[in-house]
């Protein structure tokens, strides 16, 4: 674990089962709309992204945004940034499926003239990615089950 500092923001989202393995994610702001999720087959029907796919999307999105932020700050012009996120699913020693590895490839569509200037942002942008840095270091998750854990 890593030491925590002061809380700078806090939010709560709601996740409600619709049917089978389909859930409705309700974000804390009306402007964000709801998101339907589902597990992959054979459990679900793949009617929406699975939690694993949402994590992959979050990592790719956060890294792309962080690269954009650092590049803009350095005066480097990027084309439309694209991220490709490859997720490898593995079984652990208890035969439970886990995320074994995530590989992210970013394509900032750099012009040849900006390649050298982009080396500066390349060296620092990952440190600004909230999601990736948190996942890599581990996030404490406290779990309570109402009716069982005294809630």
Q: What's the mean pLDDT when you consider all of the chain?
A: 91
What are the boundaries of each domain within the chain? 1-49, 51-137
45, two tokens:
């029907």
What would be the CATH architecture of the domain defined by 51-137? 2-Layer Sandwich (3.30)
Residue that wins the pLDDT comparison between 113 and 48: 48
Q: How far apart are CA 62 and CA 59, in angstroms?
A: 5
The pTM of the full predicted model, rounded to 2 decimals, is 0.88
pLDDT at 147 over 60: yes
- Dump the DSSP string for 63-82: HHHHHHHHHHHTT----S-E
122: left (phi over 0), alpha (psi -120 to 50) or beta: alpha
Using pLDDT thresholds of 50, 70 and 90, give the confidence band for residue 28.
very high
% of the chain residues with pLDDT over 90: 72
Task: Say if CB 66 and CB 125 are below 8 A apart.
Answer: yes
Average pLDDT of span 31-48: 96
């Amino acid at each position: 674990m890593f030491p925590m500092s002061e809380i700078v923001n806090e939010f709560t989202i709601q996740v409600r089962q619709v049917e089978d393995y389909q859930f409705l994610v309700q974000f804390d702001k009306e402007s964000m709309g709801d998101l339907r999720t589902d597990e992959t087959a054979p459990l679900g029907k793949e009617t929406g992204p699975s939690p694993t796919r949402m994590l992959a999307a979050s990592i790719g999105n956060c890294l792309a945004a962080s690269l954009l932020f650092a590049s803009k700050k350095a005066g480097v012009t990027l084309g439309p940034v694209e991220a490709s996120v490859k997720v490898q699913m593995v079984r652990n020693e208890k035969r439970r499926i886990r995320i074994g590895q995530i590989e992210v490839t970013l394509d900032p569509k750099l012009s040849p003239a900006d390649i050298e200037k982009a080396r500066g942002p390349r060296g620092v942008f990952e440190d600004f990615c909230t999601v990736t840095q948190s996942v890599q270091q581990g996030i404490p998750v406290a779990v309570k089950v109402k009716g069982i854990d005294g809630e």
